[in-house]
Amino acid sequence: MRVENIGVARAPRPVVQKQTPSFRRNWAEHASWGANYVKQKGKTNFKLFSFPDAKAVFVEVADKAAGALSNVKERIVGVLGLTTAAAAVGIHNELTPADENSKIYPMENKGEGVYEANNIDAKPNDKYRYIVVTKDNDVNMVKDPYSKKQENIHGWSSVYDTDNYEWKNTDWLEGKDPRRIVRKPDEPLRGLERLVIDEVNIPTLTKEGTFEAAKSRIDTIAKKGTATAIELMPVENAYSKQWGYDGVDKFAVNENLGSAEQLKELVDYAHGKGLNVIIDMVPNHMGPDGDYLSQTGPYIKGSGDFGNLLNYEGDTNKNVRDWMTNAALWWAKEFKVDGIRFDLTNKVGSDYLLRQIAVEVNEHAPEVFLIAEDHGHKRHSITSYYEPPHITHDEQLEFVDHNVESNRKGLKTSPWSIGFDSEWDSQYKEALEKSVLEPNTFALNDLDNYLKTSHYRVKYGYSHDEIGNEDGTRFIPKYMTRHFNLFISVDGNSDASKGQKAAHAAQDLAELVVSEGFKDMTNDEISKAEKSFGLNRFIPKQELINVFETAVAKQKLILGTVMTTPGPKMYFQGDDEGDLSYFKFFRELSDDKAKRIANPQERESIVNKKGYDTLETAARPDCIIDSVPMGGLYKNMKQEMVKFNSDLMELLNNSEVLAKGEVVATYKDNQHLVHSHHLKLGNEELLVIKNYGYGFHNGTYEYYGFPQGGNWKEVFNSDNKEYGGSGYSNAGRDDINNMNQHLSLAPNSFIILKKVA
């Protein structure tokens, strides 16, 4: 087909402005990108960052979408001899004549890769996409990287209506509700010490896996009183219900979970229940399915372990940094979240992007706090206090731009401070995990060190990563796997296969122990069940009970250590209830099912590696909270765990020293594997004594480092019978001191003493 014979009217060639624009990153600039509907005019303005050397860029608008992006592109890109932008439109019209309501508008080249088309006839929910004619005459049909509504990751974008929800809890938004935790530049970390985060995954909170259904779980969390905040794993748009870290539309809500309006309603609902809402963002990569950024503009710098990496410091990078910064501002401003957590910031590839995000959020949403998942271990600058700036907002951004340009030219620099408010404390997590799973003097040394330095970082024992990235089992089965050394009790063709089989056998054992009929089973019946789990050894009934109860005690010890370390804290959904449901890695890409049909070995390979099929429909049902019922010997376990955590939370609420006290002393009893930390705030003093060892101390425990002077009494004991413990107690005593300790301390338990005189 010859281009000149198409016979279509030629569109005027866009005029390129000669001057280089200076886009100030004020709020109007941030809000101008993408498709912006102007209600007063009934028109929409479009603004795109694309290739600076593109021959032409157009926006196509339709009242309904016709076909998938990829299919249209494949039909057009192969046409050779393209010489003009008008020809590009002609080719498109000839190949896709289906919709008479589809209109194509040229976008004006503003320079530096910025293209605009204003006052376009497009209303909310109308479909649109961009046509990018590259310098090499490729014709790319692409969705909007700023798309705020994207029903199909391979399809057209939709014009978004910002007036789609009326917020109800205005006192919360105005900062009048004292339960709201806020960050302000002149009050670093104000309130973050009150953060107790319940990390949640919308698809597994309920059977439905939607924003609407999640409100019932919000009710449960609020009623328990075991958290002050929820953290939503990413809800960035992806093909299926999943963990959320494969998002490809950084501004759009995953429509499989519900609409943007329903997410707003969920946030508003949580605020009404007194819960802060943190949302998880993924600035370090694009998901592997539905990523069209490389066809849209110079957004991508290469591929990484999880998907394409973003061009934050390469050629033509400023608008890419602005794009991700705008995404953070979008979630903060549009969805009224109280905090944002950024996934794997150590993999972002640009500390200056992180610095820019902190500067811009501080300017435009100063009440919103920022948390990093960095794992850098030596990069404490990420949580340096955000000091009042001595330079203007624009000057701070110029500082970032200047230094990124220096880096691009090979003069490596780094910001002196990134300015986030907190970060996940993975060192603390690793030390705590070792102390509980493999108690020894080295583990206690690490725990002692990181507990003392974790004040402003988010403490946790297990997150979605520690559960789902390994084998999908919670702490209790993980401990049973290790204690019984199930790796050598299963058959397998590889270490990976044996490891997965061992983990899933432990899960089966845990589910057996809490089943209604377990209490009446004989050892012969148990042996037969264990063989069906793939075990080649027999574990007697009483041993199963003993190890299971040890695991429960250890889980309480993990939670207690976290909750008694000052500063922000976190646990994963259901851990405060002793939930045994899996949290498997699950996701479904748009071609996964077809791949499995075409090549059955695809599924077999995944199952051999993970121990299960990762398709949403296969894995997600096992991950829904409460999918493992508690019965028989442990019918009260959930209530006991909730009571334990609720009482601990009540103590935290009534003892500021647990939230923001100073760790004035620690002590390691390496002989008994006991660790203590002494907290003080004003006149209030608490002593937390944690037994990671297996020794029973019935009125016999004492240690050299007990604080001198004053008397103490027990105010909390994790071994309380109300919590399912054995009942070791120091209750009723107010004469505990360094000369008269004689403490009762059960294995895998902790006690909290309060100074009374």
Bridge partners of residue 342, in order along the sequence:
281, 372
Q: H or E stretch including 380?
A: none
Identify the pLDDT of residue 70: 57
Alpha carbon 689 to chain centroid distance?
A: 32
Identify the pLDDT of residue 27: 84
Instruction: Indicate the residue type of 412.
Output: K
Give pLDDT tens digits for 555-571.
999 999 999 999 999 99
Alpha carbon 190 to chain centroid distance?
A: 22
Read off the tokens for 132.
């990018």
Identify the pLDDT of residue 634: 97
Identify the pLDDT of residue 81: 41
> Whose structure tokens read 């998907």?
307
Identify the pLDDT of residue 247: 95
Q: H or E stretch including 589?
A: none
Bridge partners of residue 667, in order along the sequence:
676
When pLDDT is cut at 50, 70 and 90, the band that residue 67 belongs to is low
* Pair 143, 129: CB distance under 8 Å: yes
Beta-carbon contacts of 404 under 8 Å, excluding residues fewer than 6 positions away, are 312, 313, 317, 318, 321, 350, 352
Measured distance CA(483)–CA(438) in Å, rounded? 10
One-character DSSP codes across 498-551: HHHHHHHHHHHHHHHHTSTTGGG--HHHHHHHHHHTT-SS---HHHHHHHHHHH
Read off the tokens for 609.
């590696």
When pLDDT is cut at 50, 70 and 90, the band that residue 68 belongs to is low
CB-based burial label for 445 (10 Å; 0-12, 13-18, 19+): middle
When pLDDT is cut at 50, 70 and 90, the band that residue 389 belongs to is low
For the chain, what are the domain ranges?
3-158, 180-424, 653-755
C-alpha to C-alpha distances, 360 to 249, 258, 345, 364, 597, nearest whole angstrom: 21, 29, 17, 6, 48
Measured distance CA(77)–CA(139) in Å, rounded? 5
* Pair 3, 82: CB distance under 8 Å: yes
Using alpha carbons, select from 462, 486, 482, 485 the residue that is nearest to residue 472: 462
Identify the pLDDT of residue 378: 64
Read off the tokens for 173.
């938004």
When pLDDT is cut at 50, 70 and 90, the band that residue 387 belongs to is low
Measured distance CA(482)–CA(623) in Å, rounded? 22
Q: Which of residues 44 and 62 earns the better pLDDT score?
A: 44
pLDDT at position 248 over 60: yes
CATH superfamily of 3-158: Immunoglobulins (2.60.40.10)
pLDDT at position 12 over 60: no
CB-based burial label for 409 (10 Å; 0-12, 13-18, 19+): exposed
C-alpha to C-alpha distances, 40 to 36, 44, 334, 568, 648, nearest whole angstrom: 12, 10, 20, 45, 53
Measured distance CA(452)–CA(469) in Å, rounded? 28
Backbone angles phi, psi at 202, to 5 degrees: -55, -45
Rounded mean pLDDT, 390-413: 88
Measured distance CA(66)–CA(78) in Å, rounded? 20
pLDDT at position 607 over 60: yes
3-state secondary structure of 351: helix
Give pLDDT tens digits for 35-46.
999 999 999 999
Give pLDDT tens digits for 354-367.
999 999 999 999 99
CATH superfamily of 653-755: Golgi alpha-mannosidase II (2.60.40.1180)
Identify the pLDDT of residue 76: 46
Rounded mean pLDDT, 650-654: 95
pLDDT at position 525 over 50: yes
Q: Which of residues 381 and 50 earns the better pLDDT score?
A: 50
pLDDT at position 29 over 90: no
Give pLDDT tens digits for 407-453.
998 888 888 789 899 999 999 999 999 999 999 999 999 999 999 98
Helix, strand, coil percentages, rounded to 5, for the chain: 35, 20, 45
Identify the pLDDT of residue 518: 97
Strands in 121-168 per DSSP E: 127-133, 139-142, 157-158
> Whose structure tokens read 């997590």?
429
Bridge partners of residue 157, in order along the sequence:
128
pLDDT at position 515 over 90: yes
CATH dotted code for 180-424: 3.20.20.80
Backbone angles phi, psi at 139, to 5 degrees: -115, 110
pLDDT at position 501 over 60: yes
Identify the pLDDT of residue 385: 52
Identify the pLDDT of residue 20: 39
Give pLDDT tens digits for 99-125.
456 788 999 999 999 999 999 999 999
Measured distance CA(256)–CA(234) in Å, rounded? 13
Neighbours of 19 (CB within 10 A): 7
CB-based burial label for 461 (10 Å; 0-12, 13-18, 19+): buried
CB-based burial label for 135 (10 Å; 0-12, 13-18, 19+): exposed
Return the percentage of the chain with pLDDT > 90, whole number. Answer: 78
Identify the pLDDT of residue 16: 36
Q: Do domains 3-158 and 180-424 have the same CATH topology?
A: no
Give 669's DSSP letter.
Answer: E
pLDDT at position 17 over 90: no
Beta-carbon contacts of 176 under 8 Å, excluding residues fewer than 6 positions away, are none
Beta-carbon contacts of 307 under 8 Å, excluding residues fewer than 6 positions away, are 246, 285, 286, 287, 288, 291
C-alpha to C-alpha distances, 42 to 12, 122, 149, nearest whole angstrom: 25, 8, 18
Q: How far apart are the first and last CA of the chain?
A: 94
* Pair 335, 267: CB distance under 8 Å: yes
* Pair 723, 640: CB distance under 8 Å: yes
Give 133's DSSP letter.
Answer: E
When pLDDT is cut at 50, 70 and 90, the band that residue 380 belongs to is low
Return mean pLDDT, the chain.
Answer: 90
Measured distance CA(284)–CA(359) in Å, rounded? 19
Measured distance CA(417)–CA(434) in Å, rounded? 31
Rounded mean pLDDT, 575-592: 95
- Start-end of H helices in 564-664: 592-598, 600-610, 616-623, 637-654, 656-660
pLDDT at position 79 over 50: no
When pLDDT is cut at 50, 70 and 90, the band that residue 757 belongs to is confident
Give pLDDT tens digits for 209-231.
999 999 999 999 999 999 999 99
Question: Would you say the C-alpha torsion 372, 376, 378, 381 has a positive or negative sign?
Answer: negative
Give pLDDT tens digits for 277-312.
999 999 999 999 999 999 999 999 999 888 999 999
Measured distance CA(302)–CA(287) in Å, rounded? 13
Neighbours of 479 (CB within 10 A): 22
Give pLDDT tens digits for 685-735.
999 999 999 999 999 999 999 999 899 999 999 999 999 999 999 999 999
Identify the pLDDT of residue 100: 57
